[in-house]
């Protein structure tokens, strides 16, 4: 007996299957990075088309990997939003058709709640027996489309504490990478460049504190990085070695600014809401610099998902679906695309 999770909110076509004890049985992700890389960002129309081509193959492959037959699927969990409308529609329609043919319930999952569940998967198993010694926990969600602080009061009770007013952290990484001429997706490339810094203190980029609220803003940092790049990289006649050093030092300063803001606001919120833990999820949570610094500097217990579960995947959606399934929650038979955040 198992739960199938389907995720198509952005540029990954993903399915995951877990059993009712939370054990991961199969996890397949078809990435569209090569489709979007030439444009330096995601093209929604291309994303929906690629989902349409990939979804059935990904589902079949996940079943094979799980070594179960479709008859053992007891419920289908699917991301209903937030995300790209065209991309969500592919996953939801596939899930609806499959749930009708298998005659099993359909569970709508909020993508952000899915990301949070990813931090509760250890050794390929969703931890299902957390109690009041774990909650409340504070979740920092950092991805290509989101930067949010969310209070998790139990497995299925969430409230939004603060979010970005403009760019998401991952988006800022991607845009800075593009202006430095480094490619897409930007996060892993900036991280790699920053590791080769020549001088940590060469540049200092601004931090947007926004009156110490729990709101974030990264557009100013992006502009400041662009101005610095124009001044230091493009107006000087640098040789190859100097160019690499300058790119690395700018990347380092960018990461430091991002970390300082994330760390400070997350710590303040965790303190104010008496949180027992800090969970950090989403694609940017794969970043080694952020991971090491949060783990070494925080006085809270900080929990990151395993790197494979940081970016979009079907297991996190199946996990959130399993919680609803086990609670026998009233199932939603009239799922609609909800590109905007409407649950938190
Ligand atoms: P998601 O939106 O959760 O699918 O995550 C994708 C985003 O995570 C993109 O904006 C990536 O640039 C970013 N990302 C992926 N790996 C890293 C990394 N190592 N450091 C920073 N950002 C990353
Ligand atoms: Mg995501």
The neighbouring-strand residues paired with 73 are 2
Q: Which of 167, 164, 135, 132 is nearest to 151 (CA)?
A: 135
Ligand 1 centre from 282 Cα, in Å? 7
- Assess whether 104 and 177 both reside in one domain: no
Q: Of the ranges 22-26, 81-85, 217-221, 300-304, which one carries the lowest mean pLDDT score?
A: 81-85
How far apart are alpha carbons 110 and 114 in whole angstroms?
6
Q: Which residue CA neighbors atom 5 of ligand 1 most closely?
A: 283
Ligand 2 centre from 236 Cα, in Å? 38
The neighbouring-strand residues paired with 147 are 142
Q: In this structure, what token pair is assigned to residue 145?
A: 């489309």
- Assess whether 210 and 158 both reside in one domain: yes
- Assess whether 299 and 174 both reside in one domain: yes
341 in any annotated domain = no
Collapse the DSSP code of 282 into the 3-class scheme (helix H, G, I; strand E, B; otherwise coil) and give the result: coil
* Residues 150 and 112: beta-carbon distance below 8 Å: yes
Using N-to-C axis directions, what is the helix angle for 186-195 and 288-297, rounded to 10°?
Answer: 70
How far apart are alpha carbons 39 and 337 in whole angstroms?
26
Q: pLDDT tens digits, residue range 172-181? A: 999 999 999 9
Cis, peptide link before residue 185, omega less than 30° from 0 = yes
How far apart are alpha carbons 197 and 164 in whole angstroms?
28
Q: In this structure, what token pair is assigned to residue 262?
A: 């994330």
- Assess whether 288 and 155 both reside in one domain: yes
Q: How many domains does the chain contain in total?
A: 2
- Assess whether 60 and 147 both reside in one domain: no
Ligand 1 centre from 227 Cα, in Å? 23
- Assess whether 168 and 298 both reside in one domain: yes
How far apart are alpha carbons 142 and 71 in whole angstroms?
36
Collapse the DSSP code of 224 into the 3-class scheme (helix H, G, I; strand E, B; otherwise coil) and give the result: helix
The residue whose CB lies within 8 Å of the most ligand 1 atoms, and thus the one to mutate among 171, 174, 311, 315, is 311
Q: Of the ranges 38-47, 78-87, 108-117, 262-271, which one carries the lowest mean pLDDT score?
A: 38-47
**Percent of the chain, pLDDT > 70?**
95
pLDDT at 250 over 70: yes
Q: What does the DSSP assignment read for 13-58?
A: EEEEEEETT-BEEEEEEEE-HHHHGGGTS--HHHHHHHHHHHHHHH
Residue 331 — pLDDT band, cuts 50, 70, 90? low
* Domain span at 23: 2-119+308-326
The ligand placed nearest to the CA atom of residue 283 is: 1
Q: Which residue CA neighbors atom 3 of ligand 1 most closely?
A: 283
The ligand placed nearest to the CA atom of residue 82 is: 2
246 in any annotated domain = yes
CATH number of domain containing 83: 3.30.420.40
How far apart are alpha carbons 10 and 142 in whole angstroms?
15
User: What is the per-residue pLDDT for 251?
Assistant: 98
What would the mean pLDDT of 332-340 be, rounded to a whole number? 51
- Assess whether 176 and 87 both reside in one domain: no
340 in any annotated domain = no
């Amino acid at each position: 007996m198992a739960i199938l999770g389907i995720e198509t909110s952005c540029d990954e076509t993903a399915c995951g299957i877990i059993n009712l004890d939370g054990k991961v049985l199969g996890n397949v992700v078809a990435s569209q990075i090569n489709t979007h890389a030439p444009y330096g960002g995601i093209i929604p129309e291309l994303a929906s088309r690629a989902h349409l081509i990939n979804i059935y193959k990904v589902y079949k492959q996940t079943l094979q990997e799980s070594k179960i037959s479709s008859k053992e699927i007891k419920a289908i969990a699917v991301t209903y939003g937030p995300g790209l409308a065209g991309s969500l529609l592919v996953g939801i329609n596939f899930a609806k058709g499959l749930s009708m043919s298998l005659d099993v319930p359909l569970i709508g999952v909020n993508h952000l709640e899915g990301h949070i569940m990813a931090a509760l998967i250890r050794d390929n198993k969703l931890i299902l027996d957390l109690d009041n010694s774990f909650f409340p926990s504070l979740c920092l969600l950092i991805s290509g489309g989101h930067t949010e602080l969310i209070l998790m009061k139990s497995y299925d009770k969430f409230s939004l504490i603060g979010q970005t007013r403009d760019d998401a952290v991952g988006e800022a990484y991607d845009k800075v990478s593009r202006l430095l001429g480094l490619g897409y997706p930007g996060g892993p490339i900036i991280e790699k460049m920053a590791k080769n810094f020549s001088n940590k203190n060469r540049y200092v980029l601004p931090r947007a504190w926004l009156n110490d609220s729990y709101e974030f803003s990264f557009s100013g940092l992006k502009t400041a990085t662009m101005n610095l790049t124009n001044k230091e990289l493009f107006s000087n006649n640098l040789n190859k070695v100097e160019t690499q050093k300058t790119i690395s030092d700018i990347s380092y300063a960018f990461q430091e600014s991002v970390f300082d803001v994330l760390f400070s606001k997350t710590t303040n919120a965790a303190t104010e809401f008496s949180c027992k833990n800090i969970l950090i999820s989403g694609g940017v949570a794969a970043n080694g610099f952020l991971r090491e610094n949060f783990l070494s500097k925080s006085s809270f217990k900080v929990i990151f998902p395993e790197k494979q579960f940081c970016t979009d995947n079907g297991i996190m959606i199946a996990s959130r679906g399993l919680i609803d399934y086990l609670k026998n929650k009233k199932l939603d038979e009239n799922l609609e695309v909800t590109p905007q955040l409407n649950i938190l």
